[in-house]
Copies of this chain bind each other. A is one copy, B any other.
């Protein structure tokens, strides 16, 4: 009976296999080889994916070696802190609580000095505050007898955890003490609840706080003294780099608009990348805000005092974004369906290129001011020049109808034709007028950027105005600036020729 059953199953199997193999296109390939091929494909795909992943990781490391250094720093800090386990005298001091030091290092160690300090302070204060409160609650609970103890501790955990969680929704708390509130809940719950079982609660809490302080101090020391990455400096560099990007994309955008003949289309890859620089400006608000927050925790470093006006950088960022919105609108003009006539474009191209090159040189000069932290002697001149070219552009716009209707003068008799010509002209002029008025708007927003940067220069006491007094002593700087101005003017002229 059993034998028969087995045979039937065998037959069924064979039938299934036969059915399966008859379905595939190559009838010679057995199931084994099919599986083998599928497996090979799978493995090859997997290897390719892993390879691509590693390639990308390698690129990230090469792009910014400081990230690799940060990783080594984390590894080092962890290795150092694990000495608490390896060395008997240290282990005797803190015992199993040594794990809190390890945990602290893992959780608190951040990329920048400011972030690490900020998290460390949050952790230490959150733990200490919660520890004291938990002791109070534990004392009250232990006085009220064995039966009420769980009730009191449970209720206090419920209340304080709910309140602290709610506080994390309040923007002002969230911005600064989000992590601290979490640590508060954690410590309070742990100490209060485990007080029910652990006898030497005070020893435990004491050891825990001391290991946390050891962990945070180690983190702060390592992050500050081994290849430090300062949030403030990062913010400073980010802002000036974004300004350069903005200037480049403004230039690129205007260039592309007026060279839309398809000539540059092939060799256009680089300008295309340049063109999208303003997107970095649009998307860096969150980064700027967190950097500014962390920068305020940092001690004086490099060129920055402790009271460096980091908040002003956010204002600069906002003014840059407001300018970038306009560049975005400008950029869409290029893709717009309504294209201006070549004649109109040609007429305004010179002045528009001039405005854009002047505007972008103002942005670049301001970026240089930030980069070098020295007031620029030429910024007023550049702004004045930008304004005057903007005025020229406005004048050109005003005289546009005059220039556009030369045929009318030749045929003053036909009223009908004149009207139709001027109608067509206005239709053709609209995209250019939009473009030009966006340019004018951009230049006024650039002035807002210049103002915010000047506020920064005042608040942070940038040097540079001294140069005018020490002219005799430092003639080279002025000469360099003058030669740079000449360079700028030459590039402007070159652009005009294009």
Residues of A within 8 A of B (CB): 53, 56-57, 60-61, 67-68, 70-72, 74-76, 78-79, 82, 85-86, 91, 96, 98-99, 102-103, 106-107, 150, 153-154, 157-159, 161-163, 165-167, 169-170, 172, 182, 185-186, 189-190, 193-194, 196-197, 283, 285-286, 322, 325-326, 328-329, 332, 336-338, 397-402, 409, 412, 415, 419, 422-423, 426-427, 430-431, 433-434, 437-438, 441, 444
Contact = CB atoms under 8 A, between A and B. Distances in A.
A163 B53 CA distance: 14
A204 to B, nearest CB: 10
B166 A71 contact: yes
A85 B196 contact: yes
A103 B283 CA distance: 35
Given A85-B194, A157-B82, A434-B437, A71 B186 contact: no
B423 A422 contact: no
Q: How many copies does the complex hold?
A: 2
Given A154-B82, A161-B74, A433-B433, A400 B412 contact: no
A441 to B, nearest CB: 6
A359 B18 CA distance: 63
Given A78-B189, A170-B60, A185-B106, A401 B430 contact: no
Contacts of A74: 161-162, 165, 185
A454 B412 CA distance: 54
Contacts of A430: 397, 433, 437
A422 B189 CA distance: 79
B186 A107 contact: yes
Given A426-B400, A438-B329, A71 B162 contact: yes
A166 B61 contact: yes
Nearest to A420: B402
A174 to B, nearest CB: 11
A13 B301 CA distance: 42
Contact of A329 (B106, B107, B329, B426): B329
Contacts of A189: 78, 82, 102, 106
A130 to B, nearest CB: 11
A299 to B, nearest CB: 24
Contacts of A197: 85, 91, 96
Contacts of A75: 157-159, 161-162, 165
